[in-house]
Chain A
Amino acid sequence: MTRLTLAIPSKGRLKDQAEAWLSDCGFKLRQIGGERGYQAEISGLPDTDVLLLSAREIAEGLLSGRLHMGVTGEDLLNDLSGNLYAEAHVVRRLGFGGANMVVAVPDAWIDVSTMADLDAAGALYRQKHGRRLRVATKYLASTRRFFAARSVGEYRLVESAGATEAAPASGTADLIVDITTTGATLKANGLKILSDGLILKSQAALTASLGADWSESARAALARLLASVEARAAAESVVKLTAHGAISDDTAINLGLVDVRGPVAFCAKNTAAYAAERLCTEGFGPVSIEKIDFLFRAETEALQQLLKKI
């Protein structure tokens, strides 16, 4: 029987945030072999192996089916997969690791502010030099797709291994396609983002492989993982209301209360104060509102959706 393999980023902010998110969901990581180990034990999830890998390796592993689950960037998944919908399933966007994939050109190109300008500049350049403008990027497929969709053909790709934003300054390329969070690095390197040059908004996502070997035990571990993840996520937007006396069905429906049992009900966070006030006027006061940490339900919808695809 195969165990569930779950991969999380092995270094940097992404690692810290993924670890914090897991711990928030009730799963504590302990790296085997100390800080530099590439495997971890996870408390609360038996039958699960946790691997620490680079975000790119995780995306590759999910697409090839070597990993069951992973936390990685949507940018990488999109770039590496020709058919993401059939190869992987994004279970949940995690709200961290946010970044935009953008087209950026040197500040000095004051005649280029859109993709159409870029094509025109590229055509002029080719006429003069018999060569195409070079675009440095790690995201070859995404770049090719985006440029084709914008009818921009006047360019050549240069695969960048390291600091892409330095490519124009070092002369290995003329413009870049790269990931940016604040744009500060681009700015520091004298680059500007084209006004219609946003290729993709990306964030870290808990993603399932559709090609992995989903044995019974792997599915069982998956159910356990997703139940907690979804319960934690559901608790973000819901609070617990406790009234004085059993809440009637009519009142519950009118106020948007769910899962009513006697005096206790759940309610969307942003309407809770209003509901509490109304309950008081209808004679159910006093009413307390409590934050909750988890909201487990009998069925995990995200799990059902995923099981349909694997």
Chain B
Amino acid sequence: MSPLEVFEKLGGEFVDPPIVMPAAQPLELSGEAVRARLCVFTSAAGEECALRPDLTLPLATAQAANGNGGESIKRYAGRAFRLPTVPGDPVEFTQVGFERYGAPSTPDVDAESFALVCEAATAGGVTEKEVRMGDLAVFPAFVDALGLAAGLADALKRAFRQAGGVSALLSGERRPPATGLASRLKGASLAEARDIVADIFALSGTQMQGARTLEEIVEGLMAQASDAEAESEEAPALARQTLEAVMAVDCAPDNAADALLAIARQAGLSGVDPVLDQLSQRVARMRELAPDGLTSARFGTPFGRRFNYYDGFVFEMIAPGGDLRRPIGAGGRYDGLIRDLSGGKVDMTAIGGVVRPDRLAAAVEVRQS
């Protein structure tokens, strides 16, 4: 059986979405950081276009446009394009994979998707695998449970996605709101605050520029004021210890939920239990469905954070002794993407997985030689 035939067992539809997309799509979604990997060109009219960096994004875009329609499965074997970060990597390569929309967001579905990718890799000739996995819902759950000021909590969740971002943020000096004005607006309604700031701008001749509106600026200012008030002295110290411990969890998947639970208990946090239950159920189910995928596996909290739109279970696998930067298979959950792409009109869970036939073949060749 080939990887393609393994995924066929899922049923659904075999598709080939457009190769060319507006560059704004991946850039707006993932930010400038992805530009370094993106094959971008400019049309004669000056419009920036990009070659699809994977098939997940164009398929999700189509799904967001087509609206809610119950559960569906898309399968593909198509070319994708990325500028290499590792010398010698091809710009153009094939991904064989599937995306599953609207299925319940459960540990069972996570484990099934993982098992399929394992099976596809085995079908491609790689029987033994080293797996790394994470769960991108864990860190935000801990941040929420810590009850931090809203602005700090949001900043931490954003910083999680950047290497070193969390510790940089937590070790940085916390500071009072940017202007004394923020504290003087305390108690004012948004409309009142807006009028006050508008008066100040009129007096000082300050001009509005760019796309941010006066309302947004005042909102930002008031958020800073309420953050400064909400923040107690001890909260950052406890938050720092807890979140640094959470970030440092790197262990066998079977121990991950317990390790995280111990950190939560130590900090006296409740509220992370549902996420940790999911994690432990998922690992148990993975052990039933794909024991071969767990023989050499690690769970790491920060793992997968550079996968921009993923927000739950994530995994990658390599052949034993292979290059971590060249996974043979990968996958994960991105329940929030279609909602974001459709501007909130379509809300659908989503999970997908792929293998790279070129890398599978290379791994087989390495083993034979």
Please report A residues at the B interface, Cβ cutoff 8 Å. Answer: 106-114, 116-117, 119-121, 123-125, 128-134, 144, 147-148, 151, 153-157, 168-169, 171, 173-175, 190-191
Contact = CB atoms under 8 A, between A and B. Distances in A.
Nearest to A129: B211
B216 interface: yes
B154 A112 contact: no
B221 A154 contact: no
Contacts of B178: 110-114, 117
B155 A116 contact: yes
Nearest to A111: B220
A247 B318 CA distance: 75
B212 A174 contact: yes
A212 B154 CA distance: 49
Contact of B151 (A120, A132, A144): A120
16 contacts: A108-B207, A109-B217, A110-B221, A111-B178, A113-B179, A125-B211, A125-B212, A132-B31, A144-B36, A148-B33, A151-B168, A154-B158, A156-B31, A157-B32, A169-B209, A190-B207
Contact of A151 (B151, B158, B182): B158
Interface residues of B, number: 43
Contact of A108 (B35, B154, B206, B223): B206
A164 to B, nearest CB: 13
Contacts of A107: 206-207
A151 B159 contact: yes
Interface string B167-187: 011001000001101100000
Given A106-B210, A153-B33, A112 B28 contact: no
Contact of A174 (B154, B206, B211, B221): B211
Given A154-B31, A156-B27, A171-B211, A121 B220 contact: yes
Interface of B is mostly: helix
Contacts of A157: 32, 35
Interface in B195-210: 197, 201, 206-210
Given A110-B181, A112-B220, A148-B33, A120 B210 contact: no
A155 to B, nearest CB: 6
Contacts of B340: 130
B35 A144 contact: yes
A151 B165 contact: yes
Interface of B: 27-28, 31-33, 35-36, 151, 154-155, 158-159, 161-162, 164-165, 168-169, 172, 178-179, 181-182, 197, 201, 206-212, 214, 216-221, 223-224, 340, 343
B154 A123 contact: yes
Nearest to A170: B209
A132 to B, nearest CB: 6
Contacts of B169: 116, 151
A83 to B, nearest CB: 13
A153 B158 contact: yes
A144 B211 contact: no
Nearest to B161: A153
A109 B154 CA distance: 20
Q: Which of A109, A129, A132 is packed against the most chain B CB atoms within 10 Å?
A: A109
Contacts of B221: 110-111
Contacts of B158: 119, 123, 151, 153-154
A217 to B, nearest CB: 35
Given A107-B207, A151-B169, 7 more contacts: A108-B207, A113-B178, A117-B220, A120-B154, A133-B210, A156-B28, A156-B32
A125 B28 CA distance: 12
A155 B159 contact: no
Contacts of A190: 206-207, 209
Contacts of B223: 111, 120, 124
A130 B28 contact: yes
Contact of B217 (A108, A113, A175): A108
A155 B208 CA distance: 19
A109 B212 contact: yes
A88 to B, nearest CB: 22
A133 to B, nearest CB: 7
